[in-house]
Amino acid sequence: MKREQEFMDVLYARLEELREQAEGELRAALTPSGEGPGGTYQARLERDVLVAERSGLLAAFNSGERGLCFGRLVFQDGRDHHIGRIGMRRDDPDRTPLVIDWRAELARPFYLATGHTPMGLRRRRHITSEGRTVTALHDEILDLTDRERTGHEGTDADAVLLSSLGAARTGRMHDIVQTIQAEQDRIIRAPHQGVMVVEGGPGTGKTVVALHRAAYLLYAQRELLARRAVLIVGPNPAFLGYIGEVLPSLGETGVLMATPGELFPGVRATGTDTPEAAEVKGRTEMAGALAACVRDRQTLPEPATVVATEDGDLLLDADLVALARQEARETRLPHNLARPTFAFRVIDELTAQLADRIGADPYGGPNLLGADDIAQLGVSVAAAPEVRAAIDALWPQLTPERLVADFLADPVHLSEADAAAIRREGGPWTPADVPLLDEAAELLGEDDSAARAREEAERQQRVEYAQGVLDLSYGSRTQEFEDRDDEDSEVLGAHDLIDAERLADRSEEADHRSAAERAAADRTWAFGHIIVDEAQELSPMAWRLLMRRSPTRSMTLVGDPAQTAEPGGTGSWERILAPYVGDRWEHIRLGVNYRTPSQIMDVAAGVLRAVDPAFRPPRSIRTTENRPWVHTVDGGIGAGSATGTTTGTDGAGSVTGAGAGVGTGPGTGTGTGTGTEAARDTAAALAAGVAETVAREAALLGDAAGEGRLAVITPRERVAALAATLPEASAGPRPDLTRPVVVLDPRQAKGLEFDTVIVAEPAEFGVSDLYVALTRATQRLGIVHAAPLPTGLGPGLTSWTDPGTGDGSGSGSGARNGHGAGVGSGAGG
Ligand SMILES: Nc1ncnc2c1ncn2[C@@H]1O[C@H](COP(=O)(O)OP(=O)(O)OP(=O)(O)O)[C@@H](O)[C@H]1O
């Protein structure tokens, strides 16, 4: 231990040195300088790579307090290497490796070697530390002939993994470099360049594996990805916050994280759609409908338009415009880019009409105008406001926002029912509008004329600024030079070397944004790699958008079709991918649940088994002492409470259990009240029940360091009311997951995990939402309900009053009545 501590001290000292060096280099790379990497492509690339590496090193340093070095490999041939979160070399002439990056090939045996296939290893050491202090060593002997013992050999090779899985949660996902499992390592380092689908049930490590794959790719393809960046798409901002520290802690910063609704630069999708509207907007048919809308805007006059110019009336008839339209369409360019072709043809025709009239020979001879006269005429026709107005009416310049807003206000080319579902006049953009906007932008073509005009104006400003700089430089020539009035001096100033234009262009090259920042502002950015989490939720239209951002189809898709909640979610990988990559994609399944203890997983699986008896959940690696519990509150609609030994069935599904629980709840409950009054009673009872259970569970949480997190997961409509009774809780569109208690709806809870989860009123969840909610807990699960439990939920639950020891299981039951006049009956112990 002492020697490892000494090594750790050396490592941190070296890290400090490197940090200072990296800070200096980063500052230099980011400081505009006449001598800096000029405008060449190669120079910019080198700068991007340098900035990515140095920022990464700094990011890693800042999180380096967590296990900078976590492993050691002693090979049979005498080689001995430490493995760490980032690689570092000594400051000697040979730059000897001090610690090997976990992603290096040399580090692989750390994850893959077994007694059966030792990969040349004698022993493997896990080093656990807190801050900079080594706290534990754990050695595995892989060469069975090796008799030497260190005193740190343990019997249980999974001890380090299990201790990490059992640790209190902090509201932020951590990296798992110390405990990557062999099946995960194969995915992380897969050489596959195209689309890889990682599928697995809840808690199987899909997200964390995908993030480590990103870190691996950023390491293995450093140059490409520093330039093209990696995009990570997650379901909501809270989720992105939750996973946001993993890559920086691994020294990787060249990543853009976004929800699907954030992928159209300049648009903030703050609105929400009904599930029906989101589903309709997500269908592939929308692409056809929008394309048809664009064609609708390429109109014909009926039967003719009179263009009144200074030189008299000109006539645009339908045949003539149809020809111009045909020509423009045949360019196959997007609408805005084909517009000049249309406009030229129309202007040509009008010019010909005018020339015929003006140059007509009164004696019947050939037209009196020469080619130059006609060209001149063409210029004045093109400039005539009436002509421009006519062209605008027949083939208008369109923006994606205008096109989609008009389409939503009057959804044509759709069935009446679909149109009714999405019809909307004004209002904020929604996430489901974003793929429509992107589609529209593709159909219309980038109308970058405004952007180019802006750029030119900015460039002019830069030129003026540069001229000012040069003037200053000239004006600040030393007195000595001025005295000598020596314009031919060999000592040159900036004003001698460069003119304002070139100086301005050079400062333009010094775009200090990282590739990820530039990508965020550019709709047409082609990412080096894209990771999509909860991929099963994305609609076909969202896939069209993402595939445009990934022309190389280098993607990792992560998901679980059983957790599909969005009605528009594509669900099947074949359906998602066939249009883009055919069957050329790799499908990998993960089968071990690292998050949810088996007792909790059994309860959750019951819910899915009720609809699909063949359903098989992932195998939980952990068990727990804590039995999932249920607390039935009496809220005026059929509610009962049951505890203790229970066998039987109720109207909502089977409730079975055996054992000797200590029952305290009333055996029966009687519904009273009607309508809203009863609903109010239910809400109040539920809130009281949740507050009571949260108080107890929060007290059981975590440790002195303030770790350990609790989530109440309840249908969206109930979130605000429940949060109001829990003053310490965070809730809302962007809940703070680092707070000890949060209240979330099931969609917000997707992908997250907490030590303790309380699911409130499960009868109001959809099946897959309920499955997601029930599988978020790493330690304890509780259910609070007034309405009868949904089918499949019940077995495996014990009374909330005796969760630790009661073996009995049971639940309230009773007919649920929309008017609150149900009669509850509990099967009591
Ligand atoms: N090898 C490992 N070592 C330590 N922890 C691990 C390992 N693999 C997975 N975990 C942990 O298991 C938990 C679940 O992982 P993750 O969130 O990636 O699962 P998931 O498959 O994405 O789940 P879901 O579909 O439910 O969102 C996380 O806390 C993760 O850190």
Cα(541)–Cα(284) distance, integer angstroms: 6
Q: Are 142 and 114 in contact (CB under 8 A)?
A: yes
Ligand 1 centre distance from Cα of residue 207 (Å): 7
Cα dist from 202 to 318, 561, 564, 598, whole Å: 61, 11, 12, 12
Cα dist from 678 to 47, 633, 721, 732, 819, whole Å: 66, 13, 16, 26, 8
For residues 676-705, give the mean pLDDT: 83
Ligand 1 centre distance from Cα of residue 475 (Å): 64
Residue with the smallest CA separation from ligand 1 atom 30 is: 205
**Which is higher by pLDDT, 298 or 567?**
298
For residues 803-818, give the mean pLDDT: 37
DSSP 3-state assignment of 743? strand
Q: Are 215 and 102 in contact (CB under 8 A)?
A: no
Task: Give the per-residue pLDDT at 205.
Answer: 94
Ligand 1 centre distance from Cα of residue 281 (Å): 32
- Using a 6 Å cutoff on CB, does residue 199 contact ligand 1? no
For 583-607, the DSSP string reads: T-EEEEEE-EESSS-HHHHHHHHHH
pLDDT band at 657 (very low <50, low <70, confident <90, very high): very low
Ligand 1 mutation target, pool 165, 187, 250, most atoms within 8 A of CB:
165
Task: Give the per-residue pLDDT at 404.
Answer: 96
Ligand 1 mutation target, pool 70, 595, 744, most atoms within 8 A of CB:
595
pLDDT band at 704 (very low <50, low <70, confident <90, very high): low
Ligand 1 centre distance from Cα of residue 587 (Å): 19
User: What atom in ligand 1 is closest to the CA of residue 164?
Assistant: 4
Q: Which alpha helices (DSSP H) does 610-745 contain, by range? A: 675-700, 716-724
Which strand ranges, in their side-by-side order, compose the sheet holding 230-233? 255-258, 230-233, 529-532, 555-559, 195-200, 585-590
Ligand 1 mutation target, pool 187, 207, 592, most atoms within 8 A of CB:
207
Which amino acid type is present at position 712?
A: V
Q: Are 689 and 812 in contact (CB under 8 A)?
A: no
- Using a 6 Å cutoff on CB, does residue 559 contact ligand 1? no
- Using a 6 Å cutoff on CB, does residue 208 contact ligand 1? yes
Degrees to nearest 5, angle at CA 806 with 805 and 811: 145
Task: Using the predicted structure, report yes or no on whether residue 564 has a pLDDT greater than 90.
Answer: no
Task: Using the predicted structure, report yes or no on whether residue 439 has a pLDDT greater than 90.
Answer: yes
- Using a 6 Å cutoff on CB, does residue 776 contact ligand 1? no
Residue with the smallest CA separation from ligand 1 atom 24 is: 202
Residue with the smallest CA separation from ligand 1 atom 15 is: 205
Task: Using the predicted structure, report yes or no on whether residue 342 has a pLDDT greater than 80.
Answer: yes
User: What atom in ligand 1 is closest to the CA of residue 775?
Assistant: 26
- Using a 6 Å cutoff on CB, does residue 164 contact ligand 1? yes
DSSP 3-state assignment of 686? helix
Cα(655)–Cα(793) distance, integer angstroms: 8
Query: The tokens of 535 are what?
Result: 């991929």
Cα(534)–Cα(537) distance, integer angstroms: 6
**201 carries a ligand binding annotation:** yes
CA neighbours within 13 Å on the CB side: how many for 559? 27
Cα(564)–Cα(746) distance, integer angstroms: 12
> What is the pLDDT of the chain when averaged over all its residues?
80
Task: Give the per-residue pLDDT at 481.
Answer: 33
Residues 6+ apart with CB under 8 A from 281: 273, 422, 430, 432, 433, 435, 436, 539, 541, 568
Task: Using the predicted structure, report yes or no on whether residue 135 has a pLDDT greater than 70.
Answer: yes
Ligand 1 centre distance from Cα of residue 620 (Å): 11
Q: Are 604 and 562 in contact (CB under 8 A)?
A: no
Cα(752)–Cα(244) distance, integer angstroms: 12
Task: Give the per-residue pLDDT at 185.
Answer: 93
For 391-440, the DSSP string reads: HHHHS----HHHHHHHHHHS--SS-HHHHHHH---S----TTHHHHHHHH
DSSP structural state of residue 368: -
- Using a 6 Å cutoff on CB, does residue 564 contact ligand 1? no
Highest mean pLDDT out of 19-33, 148-162, 317-331: 317-331
Ligand 1 centre distance from Cα of residue 56 (Å): 24
Degrees to nearest 5, angle at CA 244 with 241 and 245: 125
- Give the burial class of 453: count Cβ atoms within 10 A of its Cβ; 0-12 exposed, 13-18 middle, 19 or more buried: exposed
Ligand 1 centre distance from Cα of residue 178 (Å): 13
Query: The tokens of 405 are what?
Result: 């807003």
Which amino acid type is present at position 385?
A: P
Locate tokens 């062209």: which residue? 391
Ligand 1 mutation target, pool 176, 208, 778, most atoms within 8 A of CB:
208
- Using a 6 Å cutoff on CB, does residue 755 contact ligand 1? no
- Which range (338-347, 376-385, 509-518, 779-788) has the least confidence? 509-518
**Which is higher by pLDDT, 509 or 32?**
32
**205 carries a ligand binding annotation:** yes
**Which is higher by pLDDT, 627 or 369?**
627
Task: Using the predicted structure, report yes or no on whether residue 639 has a pLDDT greater than 60.
Answer: no
Task: Give the per-residue pLDDT at 825.
Answer: 32
Ligand 1 centre distance from Cα of residue 261 (Å): 25
Residues 6+ apart with CB under 8 A from 425: 408, 409
- Using a 6 Å cutoff on CB, does residue 753 contact ligand 1? yes
Ligand 1 centre distance from Cα of residue 204 (Å): 5
Q: Are 408 and 424 in contact (CB under 8 A)?
A: yes
CA neighbours within 13 Å on the CB side: how many for 662? 5
Task: Give the per-residue pLDDT at 171.
Answer: 80
For residues 627-652, give the mean pLDDT: 54
- Which range (134-148, 214-228, 425-439, 471-485) has the least confidence? 471-485
- Using a 6 Å cutoff on CB, does residue 560 contact ligand 1? yes
CA nearest 196: which of 220, 213, 173? 213
Residues 6+ apart with CB under 8 A from 111: 180, 181, 182, 185
**Which is higher by pLDDT, 643 or 325?**
325
- Using a 6 Å cutoff on CB, does residue 207 contact ligand 1? yes
Cα(267)–Cα(34) distance, integer angstroms: 37
**Which is higher by pLDDT, 265 or 27?**
265
Q: What is the per-residue pLDDT across 111-124, written as a single tens digit (0 to 9) for each?
A: 999 888 889 999 99
pLDDT band at 648 (very low <50, low <70, confident <90, very high): very low
Ligand 1 centre distance from Cα of residue 445 (Å): 42
Task: Give the per-residue pLDDT at 85.
Answer: 86
Which amino acid type is present at position 39?
A: G
- Using a 6 Å cutoff on CB, does residue 179 contact ligand 1? yes
Cα(170)–Cα(752) distance, integer angstroms: 11
**Which is higher by pLDDT, 129 or 158?**
129
Straight-line distance from the first to the last Cα atom of the chain, in angstroms, rounded to the nearest whole number: 55
Q: What is the per-residue pLDDT across 25-54, written as a single tens digit (0 to 9) for each?
A: 777 776 655 444 455 666 666 676 677 666
DSSP structural state of residue 776: -
Task: Using the predicted structure, report yes or no on whether residue 219 has a pLDDT greater than 70.
Answer: yes
CA nearest 495: which of 34, 818, 119? 34
User: What atom in ligand 1 is closest to the CA of residue 210?
Assistant: 18
Task: Give the per-residue pLDDT at 651.
Answer: 32
Task: Give the per-residue pLDDT at 376.
Answer: 83
Report CA torsion sign: 687, 693, 698, 699: positive
Task: Give the per-residue pLDDT at 679.
Answer: 76
Ligand 1 centre distance from Cα of residue 752 (Å): 9
Ligand 1 centre distance from Cα of residue 213 (Å): 14
Q: What is the per-residue pLDDT across 751-780, written as a single tens digit (0 to 9) for each?
A: 999 999 999 999 999 998 999 999 999 999
- Using a 6 Å cutoff on CB, does residue 167 contact ligand 1? no
Task: Give the per-residue pLDDT at 14.
Answer: 86
β-bridge mates for residue 75, sequence order = 121
Task: Give the per-residue pLDDT at 670.
Answer: 39
**206 carries a ligand binding annotation:** yes
**Which is higher by pLDDT, 640 or 42?**
42
For residues 578-607, give the mean pLDDT: 93
pLDDT band at 474 (very low <50, low <70, confident <90, very high): very low
Locate tokens 């070397």: which residue? 497
How many other CB atoms are there within 10 angstroms of residue 510's CB atom? Answer: 17
- Which range (29-38, 193-202, 591-600) has the least confidence? 29-38
Residue with the smallest CA separation from ligand 1 atom 1 is: 180
Task: Give the per-residue pLDDT at 359.
Answer: 73
- Using a 6 Å cutoff on CB, does residue 595 contact ligand 1? yes
How many other CB atoms are there within 10 angstroms of residue 322's CB atom? Answer: 12
Ligand 1 centre distance from Cα of residue 203 (Å): 5
Task: Give the per-residue pLDDT at 250.
Answer: 84
- Using a 6 Å cutoff on CB, does residue 203 contact ligand 1? yes
Which amino acid type is present at position 680?
A: R
**203 carries a ligand binding annotation:** yes
pLDDT band at 571 (very low <50, low <70, confident <90, very high): low
Cα(596)–Cα(784) distance, integer angstroms: 19
Helix, strand, coil percentages, rounded to 5, for the chain? 45, 15, 40
Q: Are 747 and 236 in contact (CB under 8 A)?
A: yes
Residues 6+ apart with CB under 8 A from 512: 30, 32
**For residue 303, cis peptide bond before it (omega within 30 degrees of 0):** yes
Task: Using the predicted structure, report yes or no on whether residue 675 has a pLDDT greater than 70.
Answer: no
Task: Give the per-residue pLDDT at 644.
Answer: 34
Residues 6+ apart with CB under 8 A from 766: 565
- Using a 6 Å cutoff on CB, does residue 206 contact ligand 1? yes
Ligand 1 centre distance from Cα of residue 569 (Å): 23
- Using a 6 Å cutoff on CB, does residue 737 contact ligand 1? no
Degrees to nearest 5, angle at CA 708 with 684 and 746: 50
Query: The tokens of 818 are what?
Result: 């929309």
